[in-house]
Amino acid sequence: MAAKQHEHDLTKRWWLPPSFGIGTVYVPLLRNGHWHLMIVDMYHSDLVYLDSMKNDEDTAERKKQMKFVAFFLETLLSDKGFYKEWDGLTPKFSTYDFSEPETGQQDELT
């Protein structure tokens, strides 16, 4: 009985309540040896792209990667089993618009 109760307590700690109070998720991403940051901003329905070494070709690929990750998070959070109590609302991260605040840029290494 004690083992079963302990297992239940561990499981219970990992479940999120229906409104778990997280409005911003930071996701560091690595693509072709370069790190960039994706911020999922649920308050403004934005996928924020922060990159200190932008160029048109890489930016397009990095945004595709961000959409893939957004879809993955959306799929993960659409599973009712992920929540202790589910309120029926599922975030649609893959429909969020991109936001690209101006950031400092580094020189490319040669």
Instruction: Please check whether residue 36 lies inside any domain of the structure.
Output: yes
Q: Which of 77, 99, 102 is nearest to 90 (CA)?
A: 77
pLDDT at 72 over 60: yes
The predicted-structure confidence for 31-65, as pLDDT tens digits, reads as follows 988 899 999 998 899 999 999 988 888 999 999 99
Average pLDDT over residues 58-82: 90
Residue 108 in any domain: the answer is: no
CATH for 43? 3.30.310.130
**How far is Cα 84 from Cα 18, in angstroms, rounded to an integer?**
7
Domain assignment present for residue 7? The answer is no
Asked if residue 10 is part of any domain, the answer here is no
Q: Which range marks the domain in which residue 63 is found?
A: 20-99
Task: Give me the pLDDT at residue 45, please.
Answer: 92
Predicted pLDDT at 21: 59
3-state secondary structure of 86: coil
> E-strand spans in 32-100?
34-41, 46-50, 97-99
| Angle at the Cα of 61 from the Cα atoms of 58 and 66, rounded to 5 degrees | 120
pLDDT computed for residue 77 by the predictor: 83
Answer yes or no: is pLDDT of 99 > 90. yes
What pLDDT score does 55 carry? Answer: 86
